[in-house]
Structure 1
Amino acid sequence: DAQMDDARYVATLVRTAAGYGAHVANRARVTAFLREGERVVGVRVRDVEGGGEYEVRAKQVVNATGVWTDDTQALIGERGQFHVRASKGIHLVVPKDRIHSTTGLILRTEKSVLFVIPWGRHWIIGTTDTDWDLDKAHPAASSADIDYLLEHVNSVLNVPLGRDDVEGVYAGLRPLLAGESDATSKLSREHTVAHPVPGLVVVAGGKYTTYRVMAKDAVDEAVHGLDQRVAQCVTEEVPLLGAEGYRALWNARARIAARAGLHVVRVEHLLNRYGSMAEELLGLIEGDARLGEPLAGAEDYLRAEIVYAASHEGARHLDDVLTRRTRISIETFDRGTRCARECADLMAPV
């Protein structure tokens, strides 16, 4: 849990679903629900990338839109059965050498839990718990948020951290089910599933650590609305892409490194990020040795990873790669601007 990379998680989950036959439409925005009487029979979708609007019809529609749940519920013109509040959590990234510790830390503050987690060659310090009612697509850390985290972490560090030690800052929004209390930290972290109108299932709340339970509950609810038998849920038994064979490859990492002409630390990095799909990246490097070189200005990442993001992971834009397929934008002091040109040159032909 503490070593989770949410960007890799999403990409891997989507690719796993696609491997089982799901049709994946990235940059597709639902603008309306299709109705026949009471029943929802599909959605209207705008292609944000290429333009054009499409109607997608379905026997059951599942609305799993996180902090946007209230907005998407409004599209069916019904008052939702529950409300989702966006609670903002921010995180600071600092270089490994700024904190002298061999373990992570978890501390209580008056408003939230403070954690200091080892993250490769960095530490992640989090988190806050505050209301956010501005643009949900771009939650941002305020100056006060940063001061809050620094003040609390410095209360336990021998050598205090300053703003100059902070490499990166990122913020996320938790979809909390609104309860009676005003304080977001009192709101529920649980998830709930509802069938507000025929043909539409809504799942809201929850968190990354419970995603398989949420998926089972939502799909089971959708299955109730189908007039056919569907086999029992097996999500607990389904490994994500890259899980199969990972341990055997980890045992063989020194041999793989020698074969690929890479340092073993590089192979460990690839295995930690891609599991057994690291073989696909090693294949790219075999075809072009220059892809085995690190990025200038973001040396933790190999050039092959930028090509792979575009060829295998659906990345179309520079920010897809710098902020979502990799973590370059928060792991470098320059937010990735020094390697942006090189990344663009690697992506363009793909």
Structure 2
Amino acid sequence: MNRSKNWKRLQQETFDLCIIGAGASGAGAALDAALRGYRVALIDRGDIAGETSSRSTKLIHGGVRYLEQAIKKLDLAQLRQVRHGLAERRTVIRNAPHLAHPLAILTPVFSWFEGLYMTVGLTLYGFIAGPDSFPKGNWLSKSQALDKSPMLTRQMHSAVLYYDGQFDDARYALALAHSADEAGAAVVNYAAVTSFVHEKERITAATVQDQLTGEVINIRATVFLNCTGPYSDTIRLLANPALDPRIRPSKGVHIVLPRETLNSDYAILIPKTADGRVVFAIPFGDKVFVGTTDNDYLDLNREPVLEPAEVDYLLETVRPYLHKTPDRSEVQSGFGGIRPLIVSSRADTKTLLRDHEVEHDATSGLLSLLGGKWTTYRVMAQDAIDRVSEVLNRSAAKSSTETHYLVGGENYRFEDWQRLQKKYDLPAKVCQHLLQTYGNRAENVAALSQQNPDLASALTDSRPFIKAEVVYQVREEMAVTLRDVLARRWRLELSDWQLTAQIAPQVADLMAAESGWSDTYRTEQIQTYQELLGTFITQAGLTSERTSALA
């Protein structure tokens, strides 16, 4: 993806469709529309998946909680969500197998009856999923459960095993945007909509400012699609100030603990908490993510961050399920996201529907894709582009995303890391990391290290990251800031704030050389990012030792 080239396209071309927001739904919609042959622009005020879509629990699922609510309340809407989620689960994995895979999840239970209850529910969950490649779950004895996950509490009676999907959300969204770009879409990050141009109340163009240079242009398009998630009301009101708000934002956070917390490849589902939520403890790389919370969030101008009470809540929630309770000092980082819940008459965010809706404002012509969740992004995008097709009077064009491999996914075989190692003489762990991160594009990264042997160097002993990746991410994946690389192209910011701050200067050197940064700008990037990381630690109320390590 070439940002400069695409920015010029935004200035020069008239598009069938301009999509605002490059998260899961926006990038998914851009790919769907581009594959149907539409002229598409995809823009975001920040990075691709810079907000909610990079801060999920990393699960692809139908929703165990939704199934329980559907049965207890005879709620067909909840049941429909489960069915859609489970149907899409296999598609998400099929289309990008380097970024998504099945995940085994254990639910410890403390009585025979609780075990039977969970087994029946999860058996129904599997039945709704139908025939797929996911292993089938079963009820395990205490000793069987401890064999698979040795850090579980000895107080449990037994455990129920089931499977859902796990994925790298930020890189999945990036693969969607990259695939849309290769299908012909003009994709530009850091391009913020500041206003709309109207003719007789209908939108004919969007005024957009380049957040890196300050340049302002108008993007001309026949249809505008709002895919900004929790920020949807801001765009809706820019288009038509008379509209009523539709989104009720909800904050969810995760804490990050060492992998030794579970010492297992099996995740844990905590099916009931003091306030009626579901919490997961999930292995992700060499860490364990624990989350999530669910609370109203009003200040959309402020990034959602981990707070002391949330750290305490999640540690207290996981305590009864582990043999050794993790201490606050073991929390290495955390992250927060904002869910775009659609306004409902229901009282609290835990029960608000997360299903989606395509809204059409008849006055301005703006389409808005509201609500939804990661697992069903493709169906959401398909519904939105079907509606766009109606507006464009091209309803004959049908979606083909269900069987379209994303960048890196086609002919992917993890075993190819061995061939990569033999050809480029890179360490095994590096080659495995490249395959699991870039899929069939891994060789493009490795080849850079052959052209310049210094690019084969590791950035840190504790991770398989090599310098060539930074160059590739700048050239091919539209990384333009330190945080683009460290938080989203890699997921280091999510897992270790301290290490992220330590390697930021090395990453900045590589980006400066590739992008032509001045010494002053390079220094500003490092200082601003390290200060941000220090703020995260302080706001989370974590140890002073960590704060001083960033100084």
Q: Same fold (TM over 0.5)?
A: yes
Alignment pair present for 1:51 and 2:237: no
Q: In 2 relative to 1, CA 42–104 (structure 1 residues): closer, same or farther, beyond 3 Å?
A: same
Q: 2:338 corresponds to which residue?
A: 173
Per-residue deviation, 1:104: 0.9
Q: 1:73 to 1:5 in 2, by over 3 A?
A: same
Aligned to 1:98: 261
Q: Which range moved further: 306-315 or 290-299? A: 290-299
Moved more, 40-49 or 187-196: 40-49
Report the counterpart of residue 176 of structure 2 in structure 1: 13
The C-alpha deviation readout for 1:2-59, integer Å capped at 9, x for no partner, is 5322221222111110000000121111111221113222211111111122111111
Q: Give the structure-2-normalised TM-score.
A: 0.61
Instruction: Select the structure of larger CA radius of gyration.
Output: 2
Listed one character per residue, the Cα deviations across residues 117-137 of structure 1 (whole Å, up to 9, x for unaligned) are 111111111111111112355
Q: Are residues 70 and 297 of structure 1, via their aligned partners in 2, closer, same or farther at CA, if it must alter by over 3 Å? A: farther
Q: Answer yes or no: is 1:36 the counterpart of 2:199.
A: yes
In structure 1, give the amino acid aligned to 2:431.
V
Q: Quote the residue 1:302 is aligned against.
A: 466
- Verify the 8 A CA contact 2:253 2:335 in the aligned structure 1: yes
* Structure 1 residue ranges, 4+ long, deviating more than 6 angstroms after superposition: none
Match of 2:360 in 1: 195
State the distance in 1 between where 2:244 and 2:355 align: 15
More helix by share: 2
Match of 2:388 among 217, 222, 238: 222
Give the gaps of 5 or more residues in structure 2: 1-59, 61-164, 515-551
Structure with higher RCO (Cα < 8 A, 6+ apart): 2
Q: Is residue 125 of structure 1 aligned with residue 290 of structure 2?
A: yes
Task: For 2:397 and 2:240, locate their aligned partners in 1 and report how far apart those are by CA, in whole Å.
Answer: 33
Going from structure 1 to structure 2, the CA distance change for 1:56 and 1:221 (only over 3 Å counts) comes to same
Residue of structure 1 in register with 2:504 after alignment: 340
Cα deviation for residue 252 of structure 1 reads 2.8
- CA displacement at 1:297 relative to structure 2: 6.4
User: Could you tell me whether the CA contact under 8 Å between 2:389 and 2:397 is conserved in 1?
Assistant: no
Q: How far off its partner does 1:103 sit?
A: 1.4
Contact 1:92 1:168 in 2 (8 A): yes
- Secondary structure at the aligned position of 2:346 is classed as coil
Report the AA paired with residue 328 of structure 1. Answer: L
Aligned partners of 1:234, 1:81: CA distance in 2, in Å? 34
Change (3 A) 1:137 1:272: farther
CA distance in 1, matches of 2:384, 2:198: 21
Q: Secondary structure at the match of 1:245?
A: coil
Separation in 2, partners of 1:69, 1:179: 16
Contact 2:386 2:395 in 1 (8 A): no
Query: Given residue 448 of structure 2, which amino acid in structure 1 is its aligned partner?
Result: L
1:22 counterpart residue number: 185
SS of the aligned residue for 2:167 comes to coil
Compared CA separation, residues 310 and 349, structure 1 to 2 (3 A)? same
Pairing 1:93-172 to 2, within 5 Å after superposition: 93-108=256-271, 109=273, 110-136=275-301, 138-172=303-337
Q: How far did 1:230 drift?
A: 4.6
The TM-score normalised by the length of structure 1 is: 0.94
Structure 1 residue 298 displacement after superposition? 5.5
- Relative to structure 1, is the Cα distance of residues 230 and 39 closer, same or farther in structure 2, using a 3 angstrom cutoff? farther
Distance 1:230 1:54 in 2: 33
Count matched residues.
348
**1:277-321 deviations in Å (ceiling 9; x for gaps):** 111111111212222222136523222222222121111111221
**Consecutive unaligned residues in structure 1, runs of 5 or more:** none
Letter matched to residue 386 of structure 2: D
Mean CA deviation greater in 108-117 or 139-148: 108-117
Q: Is 1:87 aligned to 2:250, yes or no?
A: yes
**What one-letter code is carried by the residue in structure 1 that aligns with 2:478?**
G
Alignment partners' CA distance in 1, 2:512 and 2:201: 47
RMSD: 1.8
State the distance in 1 between where 2:398 and 2:264 align.
47
> Corresponding residue for 2:79?
none
Per-residue deviation, 1:182:
2.6
Provide the C-alpha distance between the structure 1 equivalents of 2:199 and 2:221, rounded to a whole number of angstroms. 12
Q: Which segment is superposed worse, 224-233 or 173-182?
A: 224-233
Return the alpha-carbon distance in structure 2 between the equivalents of residues 229 and 107 of structure 1: 45
User: Structure 2 residue aligned with 1:68, among 231, 240, 252?
Assistant: 231
Q: Distance in 1 between matches of 2:403 and 2:166?
A: 22
Q: Of 226, 236, 239, which residue of structure 1 is paired with 2:405?
A: 239
Give the counterpart letter for 1:34 in structure 2: V
Does the C-alpha gap of structure 1 residues 223 and 181 become closer, same or farther in structure 2, counting only changes over 3 Å?
same
1:189 counterpart letter in structure 2: R
Q: After the TM superposition, which residues 258-269 of structure 1 pair with which residues of structure 2 at under 5 Å, given as runs?
A: 258-269=422-433
Q: Percent identity?
A: 36
Contact 2:197–2:207 under 8 Å retained in 1: yes
What is the CA deviation profile of residues 163-203 of structure 1, one whole-angstrom value per residue up to 9, with x for unaligned ones?
Answer: 11111111111111111123111111100001112532111
* 3-state SS of paired residue (2:289): strand
**What secondary structure, in the 3-state scheme, does the structure 2 residue paired with 1:225 have?**
helix
- Is the CA contact (8 Å cut-off) linking 1:98 and 1:165 kept in structure 2? no
1:331 to 489, 495, 504: 495
Contact residue 298 and residue 336 of structure 1 kept, 8 A: no
